[in-house]
Structure 1
C-alpha cells in the first residue's frame, strides 16, 4: 500500500488552536474535529505544501511557522502527516474548503484522532520549552 504524504497545520493564537469541523461520510452522518491539512503534490516540498494548503483551506498566508512532528495515519489510505504550527499569518481566516472552522483552547480535551492529539501534545511541549527559554514566538 503506497503512503501518501500530507502537511497539516495548527493555527495558534491566544492559547487557542484552529480546527475544522467536517461531516464524516459514513452511514451515521457524524461530524469530526480535526487539524486542517492537505496532500503533497508530486515533487513538492513540505514548505511549499504548507504555504499552498493554508491559503487554499483558510485564505491566509503563513508568515511564522515551525515544524512540530510527523505522524502515521491510516483512513481510506495510508498517510504520513507532517504537522506545523502557524503562529502568524496575513489575512482573515475563512473556511474555504470545509464547512466550518472553530477556535478551541489548546488545553481542551477534544475528540481528535491519535495523530492530531500527538501533534497538539508536541505543540504544548514546544510552547512550554520555549516559555522556559523566554522565547515569545515560534518561527521557521
Structure 2
C-alpha cells in the first residue's frame, strides 16, 4: 500500500495550497495540499519534512497529525493511505513554489479553500472546516 504524507500549512486563517500541473497523473489542474509518497523506510513525519522542503523550500517545525485517510478513489488498483498533518511553524522564510509539481501556490482563506470546486481530495473539505472552527477548552 502506498503511503502519502500531506501538509496543511496554516497561517493567519489561510491554508497554503498548490494547483497541480495539468500533466499530473492524479488530480491534474486541481488544488491540493503539499506532500507526496513516503520513500522506502521513511516515516510519515520524515516524508512530511522532506516533501515540504522540496515543494516550498521551508522546513516544518511545529506540526501534528490530524487525520489518516483511505484512498479517496478505491476504484484505482493502487490503494494509498494519506497521513495529513497541520503545519503551524517552519523555518526558511516564506514558502515558495519549487519544482514542477504545481503551476502555482497560494495562501487561501480556510473557508474559501473548503468551497473550492476543483479540490483534489473531497475529504480535505471537512478537515479544512474543522480548522476554521473555534476551539473550546475543557
Shorter chain as denominator, the TM-score bin is 0.7 to 0.9
Please state how far the C-alpha of 1:34 moved relative to its aligned partner: 1.0
1:132 aligns with 2:136: yes
In the alignment, which of 24, 32, 35 is matched to residue 34 of structure 1? 32
In the alignment, which of 99, 105, 116 is matched to residue 110 of structure 1? 116
Residues 68 and 85 in structure 1, CA contact (< 8 A), matched pair in contact too: yes
May I ask how many residue pairs the two structures share in their alignment? 126
| Structure 2 unpaired stretches of 5+ | none
- Quick one: distance in 1 between partners of 2:70 and 2:116? 20
- Quick one: distance in 2 between partners of 1:123 and 1:25? 26
Please state how far the C-alpha of 1:123 moved relative to its aligned partner: 4.8
RMSD of the alignment, in Å?
Answer: 2.3
**Residues 39-118 of structure 1 aligned to structure 2 (within 5 Å):** 39-73=37-71, 74=73, 77-91=78-92, 92-97=94-99, 98-108=102-112, 109-111=115-117, 112-113=119-120, 115=121, 117-118=122-123
Please state how far the C-alpha of 1:124 moved relative to its aligned partner: 3.8
SS of residue in 2 equivalent to 1:132: coil
- Quick one: distance in 1 between partners of 2:132 and 2:42? 29
| Structure 1 unpaired stretches of 5+ | 135-140
Residues 8 and 38 in structure 1, CA contact (< 8 A), matched pair in contact too: yes
